[in-house]
């Protein structure tokens, strides 16, 4: 489970795992096969997002998808998956990050925004065109006296102000996090059944 303690190299650990059992989908073999659109374990969060788009019958073909965040866990794989020749996919994809110039203008052009930058309420209403599909991957925890747990979760999207102008939007919590679990469980079941690798 990532992240690992700082003294452990996550790349060494990932590469030590048998790619045929890598249900997280992080091994270089799985990522390479994903890039080539070959059967593989897709990283759990991007897989969950694809399943969600399928469940809601959202035809993404021809849409402009802007991915905000370039992590190896979500942003980079998501950009590849949304560009592939499949549905969900067939998008024109722009991969952005915290150092992208004119980020607001880039995001404002998006039909689909996938926010995975790790900053509370980073995507604001003035960055979203009416009718856009918003997928909020962010999980930002802040201390709170309002909850029993002592903390409250926020996404990367200012949900309250963006929701009225979006056609679809995922909440935090209760959105992509749950779909990540679904993606992980589907990968685990496929591994047990040897559906991808013999």
Domain positions in the chain: 10-192
CB atoms within 10 A of CB 140: 16
Q: Is the pLDDT of residue 126 over 80?
A: yes
Band of residue 20 on the pLDDT scale cut at 50, 70, 90: very high
Length of the chain counted residue by residue:
198
Q: Do the Cβ atoms of 186 and 47 come closer than 8 Å?
A: yes
Report the pLDDT value the prediction gives residue 193, as an integer from 0 to 100. 96
**CATH assignment of 10-192, among 3.30.43.10, 3.40.50.720, 3.40.309.10, 3.90.420.10:** 3.40.50.720
Specify which residues 65 forms β-bridges with. Answer: 93, 112
Instruction: Quote the longest CA-to-CA distance of the chain.
Output: 51
Continuous segment of H or E residues that includes residue 182: helix 176-192
Distance of alpha carbon 39 from alpha carbon 60, whole angstroms: 21
Cβ distance 41 to 30 under 8 Å?
yes
Q: 166 falls in which pLDDT band (50, 70, 90)?
A: very high
Neighbour-count burial of 168, counting CB atoms closer than 10 A to its CB (0-12 exposed, 13-18 middle, 19+ buried) = middle
What percent of the chain is predicted at pLDDT more than 90? 94
pTM above 0.85, yes or no: yes
Distances in whole angstroms, Cα of residue 36 to Cα of each of 31, 55, 156? 9, 24, 30
């Amino acid at each position: 489970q990532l992240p690992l303690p700082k003294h452990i190299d996550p790349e060494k650990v990932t590469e030590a795992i048998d790619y045929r059992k890598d249900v997280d989908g992080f091994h270089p073999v799985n990522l390479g096969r994903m890039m080539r659109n070959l059967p593989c374990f897709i990283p759990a969060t991007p897989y969950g997002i694809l399943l969600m788009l399928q469940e809601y019958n959202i035809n993404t073909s021809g849409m402009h998808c802007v991915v905000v965040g370039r992590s190896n866990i979500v942003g980079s794989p998501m950009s590849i998956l949304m560009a592939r020749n499949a549905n969900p996919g067939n998008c024109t994809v722009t991969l952005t990050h915290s150092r992208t110039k004119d980020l607001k203008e880039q995001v404002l052009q998006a039909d689909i925004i996938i926010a995975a930058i790790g900053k509370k309420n980073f995507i604001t209403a003035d960055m979203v065109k009416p009718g856009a599909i918003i997928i909020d991957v962010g999980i930002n925890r802040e201390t709170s006296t309002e909850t029993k747990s002592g903390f409250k979760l926020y996404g990367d999207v200012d949900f309250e102000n963006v929701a009225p102008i979006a056609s679809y939007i995922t909440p935090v919590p209760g959105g992509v996090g749950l779909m990540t679990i679904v993606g992980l469980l589907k990968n685990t079941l496929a591994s047990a059944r040897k559906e991808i690798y013999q």
